């Protein structure tokens, strides 16, 4: 008993001493960790080691509903030496920076439609592209009719901020000539099957196509082609034959989806808890988003090699819920499928059929 008691006392003393040592050196340990984090992250450009090809960054795989794993809609592309962003949802720009995406090299932004959850970080995107890139002309912002009004609104909202930054950092960093955005209104041919190439630079083409997000009109999806690699972003839509036609043969189809059964349960819970307004909103959104099964059928009919869900509704705060979200969809698409989460990068090297998936954080 004496030996056991002495051992326990010794262990206790050692534990107290260790704890005291950690407490005494806590600041020093924190400083070392901070310095390592600074060297690892400040000015980091994760694109510098990418092979020539087409690369997609998930900077916002979520929806308007709060999701701890996903910011609002935001997907970014590097293709060759071109840098493009598709939608600028809440928190997406900060996720982009966190991923080490070189926002100062942005060539253009594209908006699928003008719902608030797809544009509410546009001001921050324009500001970051400006001061990080030393721009001497505004960033082109492509989108449906009304995009000029949105871009001008953000210019006005950030006008004073721009004067402060120019005064503080100087014209080399914050040249007023490069402040804000330059709206590029996309007008597609009439009819349900409209599409057109709206960007063709450096071997990269972006094709805009109409989708059905009634009562939002017009609403677009986008296809990106670079050399022999391609991806498509659905934007917000129900099942869309036009999306299927334009997305034919893409390496990855990034498709929005709403799980009807899960959102219906949320609607019913809102009604039962005395929230009729929220219940109505959750009921209203059921018929203007594609289901996971719709997206899977679209991927099959388009001949896509891989399907990635983004703009996922409802929020999926745990990876365990992803399987539930996709459960019925697996019967409709035989290829790889997953629910996107912020921080993922899909790399599609040119001259290959490889898809490499990595995590930027």
Q: Which residues are catalytic?
A: 117
Strand partners, 66: none
CA angle, 54 then 206 then 153, to 5°: 110
356-359 sheet: strands from edge to edge: 181-185, 139-143, 108-110, 82-86, 74-79, 53-60, 344-349, 356-359
Structure tokens at 143: 């989108």
DSSP letters spanning 41-105: HTT--GGGGPPSEEEEEEEE---SS-BTTB-SSEEEEEETTEEEEE---TTHHHHHHHTT--GGG
Q: Which residues contact 34 (CB under 8 A, 6 or more apart)?
A: none
Alpha carbons 262 and 292: distance in angstroms, whole number: 12
Alpha helices (H) along the chain: 2-24, 26-41, 92-98, 116-119, 122-133, 147-157, 159-169, 241-246, 260-272, 276-284, 292-302, 320-326
- 335 Cβ contact list (under 8 Å, min separation 6): 299, 304, 305, 306, 307
216: Cβ–Cβ under 8 A, 6 or more apart, which residues?
113, 114, 115, 236, 288
């Amino acid at each position: 008993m004496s030996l056991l008691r002495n051992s326990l006392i010794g262990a206790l003393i050692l534990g107290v001493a260790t704890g005291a040592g950690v407490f005494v050196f806590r600041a020093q340990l924190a400083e070392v960790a901070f310095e390592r984090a600074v060297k690892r992250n400040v000015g980091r450009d994760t694109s510098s080691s990418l092979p020539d090809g087409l690369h997609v960054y998930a900077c916002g795989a979520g929806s308007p509903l709060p999701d701890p794993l996903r910011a609002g809609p935001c997907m970014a592309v590097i293709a060759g030496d071109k840098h493009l962003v598709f939608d600028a949802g809440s928190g997406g720009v900060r996720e982009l920076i966190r991923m080490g995406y070189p926002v100062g090299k942005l060539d253009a932004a594209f908006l699928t439609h003008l719902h608030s959850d797809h544009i509410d970080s546009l001001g921050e995107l324009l500001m970051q592209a400006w001061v990080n890139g030393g721009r001497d002309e505004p960033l082109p912002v492509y989108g449906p009719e009304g995009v000029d009004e949105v871009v001008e609104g953000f210019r006005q909202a950030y006008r004073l901020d721009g004067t402060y930054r120019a005064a503080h950092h100087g014209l080399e960093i914050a040249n007023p000539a490069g402040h804000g955005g330059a709206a590029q209104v996309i007008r597609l041919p009439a009819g349900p099957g409209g599409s057109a190439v709206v960007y063709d630079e450096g071997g990269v083409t972006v094709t805009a196509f109409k989708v059905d997000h009634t009562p939002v009109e017009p609403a677009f999806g986008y296809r990106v082609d670079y050399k022999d690699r391609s991806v498509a972003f659905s934007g917000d839509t129900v099942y869309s034959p036009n999306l299927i036609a334009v997305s034919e043969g893409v390496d990855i189809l990034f498709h929005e989806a709403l799980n009807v059964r899960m959102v219906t349960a949320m609607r019913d819970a809102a009604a039962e808890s005395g929230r009729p307004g929220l219940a109505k909103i959750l009921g209203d959104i059921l018929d203007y988003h594609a289901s996971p099964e719709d997206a899977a059928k679209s991927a099959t009919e388009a001949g896509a090699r891989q399907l990635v869900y983004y703009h996922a509704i409802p929020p999926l705060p745990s990876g365990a819920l992803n399987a539930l979200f996709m459960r019925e969809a697996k019967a409709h698409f035989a290829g790889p499928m997953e629910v996107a989460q912020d921080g993922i990068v899909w790399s599609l090297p040119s001259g290959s059929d490889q898809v490499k998936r990595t995590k930027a954080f």
